[in-house]
Amino acid sequence: MRDHFTIYGEQITSRLLIGSALYPSPAVMSEAIAAAGSQIVTVSLRRQQSAAAGDDFWQLIKATGLKVLPNTAGCHSVKEAVTLAHMCREVFATDWIKLELIGDEYNLQPDPFALLEATKILIDEGFKVLPYCTDDLVLCQRLADVGCEVLMPWGAPIGTGKGLLNKYNLKTIRERLPTLTLIVDAGLGLPSHACQALELGYDAVLLNSAIAGAGCPVTMSRAFKAAVTAGRLAYQAKAMPEKDVASPSTPTMGMPFWHQQ
């Protein structure tokens, strides 16, 4: 049986979710998405510039054959996010919603209070919410309490490429919420960052800027695909324990066989 995780009961085998923004051209976007081997692509209804451009974009997304995960990027209030979520449900015919609700313009940090409020409203209205949140254990617990089966804590602020700034927090969330699907979303810049997230036991990563902003998005997409596979295998293999002192890989047993008296 193929290794998989679940998002609200749906089995997913690719541990790399990919975004659809910032690519240098539609053709590059399509090729990079295909190279990633992803099953899920995120899209933003709000950030389409015109009806004509928007229609062309949707046709490209449909052509990928991937499951669409719409997001509420750019929202700053509960009312705004809830309204956009309903629009996304109508346009994309899905109850899935990646809930983004920004509280700070400098580092684009999610507003934890508004995020929790909007999440509860949307779950009560039948949405399957994937909230983009910080690596705060208590917030993640509260989101789980209101019915979230999937959480998307950040590795670092959106678009910074800094990787996993607080591995301790991320590891603690994984350990304390063992039954939830956890996806690191935002701040990853290198394939090694994605590998580290999977090594911690996270189910997947979601990327956009790290691939779309690379010198060659298609090649970087392939690199991230390989990285998540390596990270997952490492997690399953269970790493050796760290030690404070050196330990030889080949123990010495007595004298060398060529020793002469």
Three-class SS state of 144: helix
CA distances from 175 to 24, 64, 178, 202, 230 (A): 39, 35, 6, 10, 21
Mark whether 98 is an active-site residue: yes
**Rounded (10°) CA dihedral 71, 74, 80, 83:** -30
Contact residues for 3 (Cβ-Cβ < 8 A; gap 6+): 13, 232, 236
Q: Dihedrals φ, ψ of 183, to 5°?
A: -130, 120
Strand 128-133 relative to strand 150-153: parallel, antiparallel, unpaired? parallel
* Residue whose token pair is 């949307």: 122
3-state secondary structure of 241: coil
Residue 50 contacts residue 242 (beta carbons within 8 Å): no
Question: Given 62, 67, 79, 98, which residue is catalytic?
Answer: 98
Give the span between the Cα atoms of 66 and 34, in whole angstroms.
10
**CA-CA distance, 104 to 48, in Å (whole number)?**
23
| Beta strand 10-12 pairing with 181-185 | unpaired
Active site (catalytic) residues: 98
